[in-house]
Amino acid sequence: MKNIDLTAKSWPDYELIDSGDNRKLERYGPHYIIRPETQALWSPNKPAQWQKAKAEFLWDGGKGSWKKSGLPEEWPLAWRDARFSLRLTGFKHTGIFPEQAANWEWLEECVSALNKPRVLNLFGYTGIASIVAAKKGAQVMHVDASKQSNEWGQANAQLSGVPEGSIYYLLEDALKFVEREARRGSLYDGIILDPPAFGRGPKREVWEIEASLPRLLAGTAKILAKKAGAFFLLNGYAAGYAPQSFLQAVESHFPDIGRGTDGEFGHLCVQETQSKRSIPSGIYVRFTR
């Protein structure tokens, strides 16, 4: 496995304009917004650009909220031929993780190399990875414990013109689903998972990454097809782990890594426009068989 930090750069509908003083200034489509960013310990380079922001997420007494002016409730964006809507959610998120663009490119390549692969997207959120895979011909099982996220994902798929029946949305606890699929002997040609540090399933099942991730990896190892081109992608956010920790967790359940597999692990970063600075935004492990 190669230790490679993946850096997402700007595309027509997204730019990281500037960062610093524990904040970041981003452009989503025509609109500039400011969000907290604890990694940005440096000073901003473009102070005048920050005046263009129409929204900022602010913390006050342990609670956060958006201060905004002149913004619609949602607006459409695109990455290549994937279409999706942005919304300012209650915890600083937008429904989009721009650093994943580097993985979306890899996902397109993996799916294109297979014939109508069966792909499982766990913790699928608003479904951009599901759309990217489906647009390249995959049959996608999209699993998320949030009804709102699944509905948002379905709306995004409609915006993208995803063929009917290409993505199946399931409101389910990811760990329960995977262990059930393993008992059934189900197989997938590709698996994507983006687990939180803590969460709850639709029936209040508790997800705690320390205890739950090893079980989930054990289950996914049973349902990932043992065929050339089968692929696996694990992302991590806000869990306090180093990329090496995620790699070794994956290696403990996929012993063929390093013996004929092609893969990478490292940080996910977003690079500022017209600057070499980048913000570390997550970690990942990915491989193909």
> Beta strands 23-28 and 14-20: pairing type?
antiparallel
Q: Rounded to whole angstroms, how far apart are CA atoms 192 and 231?
A: 8
List, for residues 150-187, the tens digit of each pLDDT value: 999 999 999 999 999 999 999 999 999 999 999 999 99
Q: Would the pLDDT of 145 be above 80?
A: yes
The three state secondary structure string of the chain is: CEECCEEECCECCEEEEEEECCEEEEEECCEEEEEECCCCCCCCCCHHHHHHEEEEEEEECCEEEEEECCCCCEEEEEECCEEEEEECCCCCCCCCCHHHHHHHHHHHHHHHCCCCCEEEEECCCCCHHHHHHHHCCCEEEEEECCHHHHHHHHHHHHHHCCCCCCEEEEECCHHHHHHHHHHHCCCECEEEECCCCEEECCCCCEEEHHHHHHHHHHHHHHHECCCCCCEEEEEECCCCCCHHHHHHHHHHHCCCCCCCCEEEEEEEEEEECCCCCEEEEEEEEEEEC
Structural domains of the chain, ranges and CATH numbers in brackets: 9-77 (2.60.40.1180), 95-288 (3.40.50.150)
List, for residues 53-66, the tens digit of each pLDDT value: 999 999 988 899 99
What end-to-end distance do the CA atoms of the chain give, in Å?
12
Q: How confident is the model at residue 226 (pLDDT cuts 50, 70, 90)?
A: very high
Task: Give the number of other Cβ atoms within 10 Å of residue 223's Cβ.
Answer: 18
Q: Rounded to whole angstroms, how far apart are CA atoms 188 and 284?
A: 20
Q: Would the pLDDT of 29 be above 70?
A: yes
Query: How deeply is 282 buried, as exposed, middle or buried, from its count of CB atoms within 10 A (0-12, 13-18, 19+)?
Result: buried
List, for residues 210-220, the tens digit of each pLDDT value: 999 999 999 99
Q: Rounded to whole angstroms, how far apart are CA atoms 29 and 54?
A: 12
The pLDDT of 73-82, averaged and rounded, is 97
Q: Would the pLDDT of 221 be above 90?
A: yes
Q: Residue 238 has what pLDDT? A: 66
The pTM of the full predicted model, rounded to 2 decimals, is 0.96
Query: For all residues of the chain together, what is the average pLDDT?
Result: 96
The pLDDT of 74-81, averaged and rounded, is 97
Angle at 231 between CA 112 and CA 183, to 5 degrees: 125
Residue 17, token pair as written in the block? 């304009």
Q: Rounded to whole angstroms, how far apart are CA atoms 278 and 281?
A: 9
The pLDDT of 44-49, averaged and rounded, is 97
The pLDDT of 86-110, averaged and rounded, is 96
